[in-house]
Amino acid sequence: MSPARLTGKTPVTIITGFLGAGKTTLVRNLLEQADGRRLAVIVNEFGEQGVDGETLRSCGIEGCAEVDIVELANGCICCTVADDFVPTIEALMARSQPPEHILIETSGLALPKPLLKAFGWPSVRSRLTVDGVIAVIDGPAVAAGRFADDPRAVAMQRAEDPSLDHDNPLAEVYEDQLSAADLVILNKTDLLSDADAAEVGRKIAQVLPRAVKVAPTRDGKIDIAAALGLHAAAENDLNARPSHHDGADDHEHDDFESFVVPVPEIAEPEVFVARLKPLVEAHDILRLKGFLAVAGKPMRLEVQGVGPRFRQQFDRAWRPDEARAGHLVVIGRTGLDRAAIQIAILG
């Protein structure tokens, strides 16, 4: 019998990982394997308008009701525990048929440890246990060095010029997510050579503070038995999960910003997406994602972009009761030129 059943607590799996790593795809794959098990999903978005929650709600998975997907879009979940997370958990557990397992998909910018600490709250601790923290890693991004800085080189640069600030907030977020993990999913391995995959594995091992299984995957596909049922009780093991923000009362997201660009109906998806790629490079945009209406098409177009890599697919038909109104969520470092980006997107 599992520890969760022995204690009568409902297990929770926290899924963390950087922007575009494949967290939502992983969650969808787990939902498809539920086989009658009551799973609930809490999706946290960074920004004004959610996309990932809507993607899951429209996925058409049998047995996954729309009410089982709860979206928190009022800010980073680790910063709004009292206002958003705890009331959401209490509402889920108050149902006549509460979930048997809860999945929490954090935003790409969230730090896992403050959320783990929330499971020490009396109203939460008595009913829930963190079965495990899963960190989803974008293999090609790490191979390209986007989120893993060389700490020795940074230290040398600081020594040469103490007035320079070489802190990389992206690297800190990435390292905090790995440090909290009970399972690391190295995603998109189909886009890596064997040599690159081995190098990424080495980089991950350098960050991990303890022995953690690293599972290579493509398209976020992993057996549900391997992802759920880790029995980590992570809320009791905080000291083994170091964070750059240990000792701080909270953290800020002043390093990042997001905004929404309404997009009217487009004519040619390929031409539109091709215009986005140089825009991302010119403005150092971390992520672009959203839904678009295509002239003459009854289906809604989903667009996802991380760095220079984009994909698009028609995800569902527009409902008769909704406007064919497209939008893109733009996420990047603070200081984005919003006016220039909006002009470039709209052409």
Spatial distance between the Cα atoms of 292 and 326, rounded to a whole number of angstroms: 4
pLDDT band at 1 (very low <50, low <70, confident <90, very high): very low
Element (H, E) at 174: helix 169-179
Q: What is the pLDDT of residue 316?
A: 86
Query: Which of 5-19, 166-180, 227-241, 304-318 is predicted with the least confidence, judged by mean pLDDT?
Result: 166-180
Report the C-alpha dihedral over residues 256, 304, 179, 169, rounded to 10 degrees: -20
pLDDT in tens, 147-172: 633 334 334 434 543 333 334 467 88
pLDDT in tens, 255-268: 667 788 999 999 99
Mean pLDDT of the chain: 80
Instruction: Report the pLDDT averaged over residues 53-64.
Output: 48
pLDDT at 52 over 70: no
Report the C-alpha dihedral over residues 25, 31, 33, 39, rounded to 10 degrees: 150
Q: What is the pLDDT of residue 256?
A: 64
Q: What does DSSP assign to residue 58?
A: T
Q: What does DSSP assign to residue 236?
A: G
Spatial distance between the Cα atoms of 218 and 137, rounded to a whole number of angstroms: 11
Q: What is the pLDDT of residue 10?
A: 95
Please report the beta strands in the chain, taking only residues with DSSP state E, as ranges in sequence order: 10-17, 39-44, 69-72, 101-105, 128-138, 183-187, 213-216, 256-263, 285-293, 299-306, 309-317, 326-333
pLDDT band at 108 (very low <50, low <70, confident <90, very high): confident
Percent of the chain scored above 70 by pLDDT?
A: 78
Q: What is the pLDDT of residue 238?
A: 92
pLDDT at 16 over 80: yes
pTM across the whole model? 0.66
Q: What is the pLDDT of residue 73?
A: 56
pLDDT band at 96 (very low <50, low <70, confident <90, very high): confident
- Interior/surface letters 193-205, b for 16+ CB within 10 angstroms, e for the rest: eeebbeebbebbe
Q: What does DSSP assign to residue 316?
A: E
Report the C-alpha dihedral over residues 333, 117, 221, 208, rounded to 10 degrees: 80
pLDDT at 326 over 60: yes
Q: What is the pLDDT of residue 151?
A: 35
For the ranges 28-42, 222-236, 288-302, the maximum mean pLDDT occurs at 222-236
Angle at 63 between CA 329 and CA 36, to 5 degrees: 125
Q: What is the pLDDT of residue 338?
A: 93
Spatial distance between the Cα atoms of 325 and 254, rounded to a whole number of angstroms: 30
Instruction: Report the pLDDT averaged over residues 324-337.
Output: 85
Q: What is the largest CA-CA distance in the chain?
A: 63
pLDDT at 93 over 50: yes
In this predicted model, which residue has the larger pLDDT, 51 or 84?
84
pLDDT at 60 over 50: no
Q: What is the pLDDT of residue 59?
A: 44
Q: What is the pLDDT of residue 114?
A: 84
